[in-house]
Amino acid sequence: MTATAALLLVALLAPLAAALATLGWPEPTPPGRLVPSGLRWRRAAMLAAGAVTAVCTLALAALVQRGETHTLSLLQLTPHTWLTLRVDAAGALYAATAAVLWLLALVYAVGYLHGPRLGRVHAALMVCLAAAIGVAYAGNLLTFFVFYELLSVLTYVLVVHDETPAALAAGLKYIVYVLFGGSLVLAGVLLTFALAGDLSFTVGGVFAADASANALRVAFACFALGFGVKAALMPLHGWVADAHPAAPAPCSALLSGVLVAAGGFGLVRVCFEVFGVATLHSLGVMPWLGAAAAVTIVVAALLALQQDDLKRRLAYSTVSQMGYLTLALALLGPIATAGALVHLVHHAFLKGTLFFCAGSFAHATGRRGMGSLAGLAARTPVTAAAFTLATLGMIGVPPLSGFVSKWWLGVGMLESSAPATLALLLIGALLAAGYLLPVVFTLYFAKGVTRPPGVAPKPGVATRSFEVEHRPPLLVAITVAAALTLVLGMAASAAGFPLALARQAAATFFGGG
Of the candidates 101, 88, 178, 103, which has an alpha carbon nearest to the alpha carbon of residue 137? 88
Q: Mean pLDDT lowest for which of 22-36, 91-105, 331-345?
A: 22-36
Mean pLDDT, rounded, for 72-101: 90
pLDDT at 37 over 50: yes
Tens digits of per-residue pLDDT, 381-401? 999 999 999 999 999 999 999
Instruction: Tell me which of 289 and 112 has the higher pLDDT.
Output: 289
Give helix 401-415 / helix 422-445 axis angle, nearest 10°: 160
Q: Mean pLDDT lowest for which of 35-39, 156-160, 388-392, 434-438?
A: 35-39
pLDDT at 26 over 70: no
pLDDT at 80 over 90: no
Whole-angstrom distance, CA of residue 75 vs CA of residue 60: 22
CB of 391 closer than 8 Å to CB of 443: no
Mean pLDDT, rounded, for 248-252: 93
Tens digits of per-residue pLDDT, 192-243? 999 998 899 999 999 998 899 999 999 999 999 999 999 999 999 999 999 9
- % of the chain with per-residue pLDDT over 70: 92
| pLDDT attached to residue 36 | 55
Mean pLDDT, rounded, for 269-296: 96
Q: Indicate the domain borders of the chain.
A: 10-27+38-452+464-509
Tens digits of per-residue pLDDT, 90-140? 999 999 999 999 999 999 999 888 777 788 899 999 999 999 999 999 999
Whole-angstrom distance, CA of residue 11 vs CA of residue 19: 13
Whole-angstrom distance, CA of residue 480 vs CA of residue 477: 5
User: 118-123 — which CB contacts under 8 Å span 24+ positions?
Assistant: 118/27, 118/39, 118/42, 119/22, 119/23, 119/25, 119/27, 119/42, 120/157, 120/161, 121/157, 121/158, 121/161, 121/248, 121/251, 122/19, 122/22, 122/42, 122/43, 122/46, 123/19, 123/20, 123/22, 123/23
Taking phi over 0 as left and psi of -120 to 50 as alpha, with beta for the rest, 79 belongs to: alpha
Instruction: Tell me which of 412 and 26 has the higher pLDDT.
Output: 412
Whole-angstrom distance, CA of residue 140 vs CA of residue 145: 9
- % of the chain with per-residue pLDDT over 90: 75
How many alpha carbons fall within 13 Å on the CB side of residue 117?
Answer: 11
| pLDDT attached to residue 418 | 86
